[in-house]
């Protein structure tokens, strides 16, 4: 089995997990305690966010068409972090995995911290960053992280993002093995 074929089979397996999700896509869902994934419409409704008790906003579509959210927009009401990600087959979202995971982690450590992670639809970029958080901070393998999220929200990371997450999964697994040897 070539490495490429192996990767393809792993991606197919993950795609099957995603396809097994029977949920409808909502504007916003609490996918884990105090972690929400949502779309741009809910992200731009500050009253709705305050009603939910959201304290932190991670915008995975910062400065993209249709996404007006930025520090100026949120003012002092929310802690804001913007990631200018494209939902494309070429975008290297993996350079943002660690900073996004750190932002989510810090948000949850603040008293009453609740974080909204959003992009335009709340399906691909935002879910990819939450999956990276689950893998980095909660030490979940990618497949388990996917299974956890699809119980709460209809997500669909694009194939490029899935491949980047698989890469992260392999790196973290390798790191775990090295740590056990030491």
Whether 121 and 99 have beta carbons less than 8 Å apart is answered as no
Burial class (CB in 10 A: 0-12, 13-18, 19+), 148: middle
Residue 18 and residue 150 in contact, taking contact as beta carbons nearer than 8 Å: yes
Mark whether 179 is an active-site residue. Answer: no
Find the catalytic residue in 21, 81, 119, 179: 119
β 79-82/115-118 pair status: unpaired
CA dihedral in degrees (143, 105, 71, 125; nearest 10)? 0
Residue 38 forms beta bridges with which residues?
28, 118
Active site residues: 119
């Amino acid at each position: 089995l070539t490495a490429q074929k192996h990767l393809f089979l792993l991606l197919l397996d993950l795609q099957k997990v995603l396809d097994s999700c029977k949920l409808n896509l909502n504007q916003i869902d609490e996918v884990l305690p105090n972690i929400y994934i949502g779309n741009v419409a809910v992200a731009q409704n500050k009253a709705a966010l305050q009603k939910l008790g959201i304290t932190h906003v991670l915008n995975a579509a910062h400065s993209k068409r249709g996404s007006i959210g930025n520090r100026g927009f949120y003012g002092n009401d929310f802690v804001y972090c913007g990631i200018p990600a494209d939902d494309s087959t070429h975008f290297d979202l993996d350079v943002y995995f660690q900073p996004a995971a750190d932002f989510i982690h810090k948000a949850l450590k603040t008293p009453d911290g609740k974080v909204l992670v959003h992009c335009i639809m709340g399906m691909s970029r935002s879910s990819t960053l939450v999956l990276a958080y689950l893998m980095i901070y909660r030490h979940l393998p990618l497949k388990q992280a996917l299974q956890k999220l699809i119980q709460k929200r209809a997500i669909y990371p694009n194939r490029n993002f899935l491949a980047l997450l698989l890469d992260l999964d392999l790196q973290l697994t390798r790191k775990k093995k090295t740590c056990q040897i030491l």
